[in-house]
Amino acid sequence: MIAASAPEPRMRPLTSLHLFVACLFAAVASWPSLAGAAADVPDQGNAPDRRIVMTVDDLPWVQLPSVPSAEAIDGHRRLVAAIERAGVPAIGFVNEGKLEHDGRVRPERLAMLRDWLDAGAELGNHSHGHLDLHAVGLSAYQADILLGERQLRPLLERAGREPPRWFRHPYLRAGRSAQDKADLRRFLAGHGYRIAPVTADNTDWIWATAYLRVGESPDLSRREARKLKAKLRGDYVEHMGDKLDYYERQSVALLGYALPQIWLIHANLLNADTYGELIAMMRKRGYRFVGLDEAMRDPAFERSDAYLGPVGPSWLHRWAIGENKPASFFAGEPQTPAWVMRLAEVESE
């Protein structure tokens, strides 16, 4: 899904939420349980070697720097604790601009990155200001990448870690010309980076926006808010499983086998509250968790990214576009339900 890396939209007050919630629950006879979230899994009879990489964008926290540090730290700690409990490889991609307030790095926000390292995670570069390459041009984009490692490199060195090795494009927008793409690859390689692609894309940012708005709404009682957030969590995990199934099918259709998937989520409250369930859902589907190094040894990642369009699709779809696959090839991707879109006040994915 092309907008998965978009930052979460600015909050607006909910309207007529009581009526909406009443209609929603009247229409739902029973909620999907987390135990049943993986009911429709791919055939396990001749199970392929399913591998997946957990990557988390927009560290230290999606809403920074627009909210005070105190509003972010509780959810951050829950997410990091869940990552540590899961005990699987993970890499977080840092926007260094989120460390700053009034142009100065806040020590408590830098400490949030140390929490990730203490939990065993790796850290990569997601640029300083989460700039859109297609909007600012290559020169400004490259400068922002270097701004995005001023704290990251010394932080990793002090922790006895390797220098940052992976770069993730903001918005997954990677260039509108073959020349820009080639120049960016050379620039990144010259600074010790490889591009971290995404194969299993999603719209977690829409679900997370809905989750925040329910929690912050003055129009709902605590009981109503708890009930609706529980439904959001359960449906979200199920939806993410459906996305994973879809991209596995896409991999088999395009490549003939199950590619090691590189999964994108964001550092937000919804993922803090569902990370363990997401991991359990993937394990139920037969996935084992690997690092980016292992996944990227798959020969499919040597394919050229020929996509020059305006948005940021999955690399599986970039390769398919490069092979001139028909529109029917891309059909069937699970869509964010209308009720979630309405809660999030988002008109399209």
Domain spans of the chain, in order of start: 51-344
HEC readout, 24-59: HHHHCCCCCCHHHCCCCCCCCCCCCCCEEEEEEEEE
Burial (0-12, 13-18, 19+ Cβ within 10 Å), 298: middle
Q: How far is CA 119 from the centre of its chain?
A: 19
pLDDT higher than 90, residue 39: no
State the average pLDDT for the chain: 90
Report pLDDT digits (tens) over 200-250. Answer: 999 999 999 999 999 989 989 999 999 999 999 999 999 999 999 999 999
Residue 34 pLDDT class (50, 70, 90 cuts) = very low
Range in 21-35, 155-169, 334-348 the model is least confident about: 21-35
pLDDT higher than 90, residue 147: yes
Q: Which residues pair with 90 in a beta bridge?
A: 54
Q: Among 25, 54, 58, which residue's Cα sits nearest to residue 290?
A: 54
pLDDT higher than 90, residue 345: yes
Q: Which residues pair with 265 in a beta bridge?
A: 56
Mean pLDDT of 94-100: 98
Mean pLDDT of 184-201: 98
Residue 341 pLDDT class (50, 70, 90 cuts) = very high
pLDDT of residue 81: 98
Residue 31 pLDDT class (50, 70, 90 cuts) = very low
HEC readout, 268-310: CHHHHHHHHHHHHHHHHCCCEECCHHHHCCCHHHHCCCCCCCC
pLDDT of residue 205: 97
Answer whether 134's CB lies under 8 Å from 5's CB: no
pLDDT higher than 50, residue 79: yes
Measured over the CA atoms of residue 257, residue 201, residue 246 and residue 230, the dihedral's sign is positive
pLDDT of residue 48: 82
**% pLDDT > 90, the chain:** 83
Residue 19 pLDDT class (50, 70, 90 cuts) = low
The two tokens of residue 196 are 């971290």
Which residue type, as a one-letter code, is found at position 280?
A
Mean pLDDT of 98-117: 97
What pTM does this model have? 0.89
Range in 21-25, 46-50, 85-89, 226-230 the model is least confident about: 21-25
The two tokens of residue 229 are 């957030």
- CATH number for region 51-344: 3.20.20.370
Mean pLDDT of 128-144: 98
Measured over the CA atoms of residue 214, residue 218, residue 220 and residue 221, the dihedral's sign is positive
Report pLDDT digits (tens) over 280-323. Answer: 999 999 999 999 999 999 999 999 999 999 999 999 999 999 99
Mean pLDDT of 20-41: 47
Q: What does the alpha-carbon distance between residue 252 and residue 258 come to, in Å, rounded to a whole number?
A: 6
Q: Which residues pair with 124 in a beta bridge?
A: 93
